[in-house]
Structure 1
Amino acid sequence: MSHLKKILCAFALLIGSAAFTAPVAAAQGSNVIAIDEVKILRDSKAGKDMATKLNNIETQMNGELTPERNTLQTEGQALDAKLAGKTREQVNGDTALVSELNGYQAKANAFAAKAKRASQEFSLTERVALATFNKALEPVLLQVIQEKNADVVVSKSSVVYSADKIDATDLVIQKLDAATPTLTVTRQKIPDQPANPQ
């Protein structure tokens, strides 16, 4: 999925609220476990389900924009053909052509605004889905912390080395799969802005 890297980065930042992270050096004598947040998101049933649903929403949103994009492209090519070989003065002297160009520009601007809004709505959808994933993960992670009697949880991405025996990633994935195999991912909408009073 095109946005997976962005989701993984955001997930790595958000996971800190559920895990108590500390440098390994400061954890001497403490019971330490490590987790691989990227693997949890990528390999868990909930993470895969979220990625699939986000991909489907993105495809749907692109599909909604495609007809208008194609129409504009066709109109643009027709206008290019009408403009071919004409000087600026000739174009400006053709009021029908100027009107057509202005109409096309207005449609192109409206489509650009619609595409920008769709992009913003998809980003919001990703953030809400990730928050839902983190909400499902947090109690599972806390359960693993209790079971392992851990004093410290470190992210494998932020340590130079961690022994396999302290890696609790697979246990977290196993428990998350059992507790939350799917997530509800809902397309988010940005509310319409009221028109500015003149």
Structure 2
Amino acid sequence: MSEPGTEPAPAAKRLIVLSGPSGVGKSTVVAELRRAYPDVWLSVSATTRAPRPGEQDGVQYHFVDDEEFDRLVAEDELLEWARFAGNRYGTPRRPVEERLAAGLPVLLEIELQGARQVRETMPEALQVFLAPPSWDELVRRLTGRGTESEEVIRRRLEAARVELAAEKEFDTTLVNTSVREVCAELLALITAPAV
């Protein structure tokens, strides 16, 4: 038994939901954050979309077919799921719940529909909106990827307008003008004591 007043502070039991429009740089920010702070665990989503060049199953996403995704939904194995740009994405439930129960910080990088579902089922989560510096910059980032067809880009831009309008639903907003600065702000939110 420890001396009174010498007990270690409890670890923050913190679930952070990071969302924002397609092309805002969520993946870039998360990759940089995890390089700087590897203790932050990022949930790897399941998706029905095909891998982009360089993506590996189980690293960026768990790539599954429609039948497997249907099974995950039917067996309530997803914390949230959404259809986006013609594909489905979802967060496996068990790994998130296990890490939160252990008092470890968990980061979810998900789309707006998924963020709304998590808000309903886990209202204690801190919802963070990642915003672009401007609409023109967002358009430049989306069209500059060179990995998607004109139709996919058009759908992503339509979705981005809806997503930007939802910013007020979130607990806080970070503007992605500098990946390093946004990472520092996000890390401060993740490591802040839970209230």
**Structure holding more helix per residue:** 1
* TM-score exceeds 0.5: no
| Greater relative CO, 1 or 2 (CA 8 Å, sep 6+) | 1
Bigger CA radius of gyration? 1
Superposition TM-score tier, normalisation by shorter sequence: under 0.3
**Structure holding more strand per residue:** 2
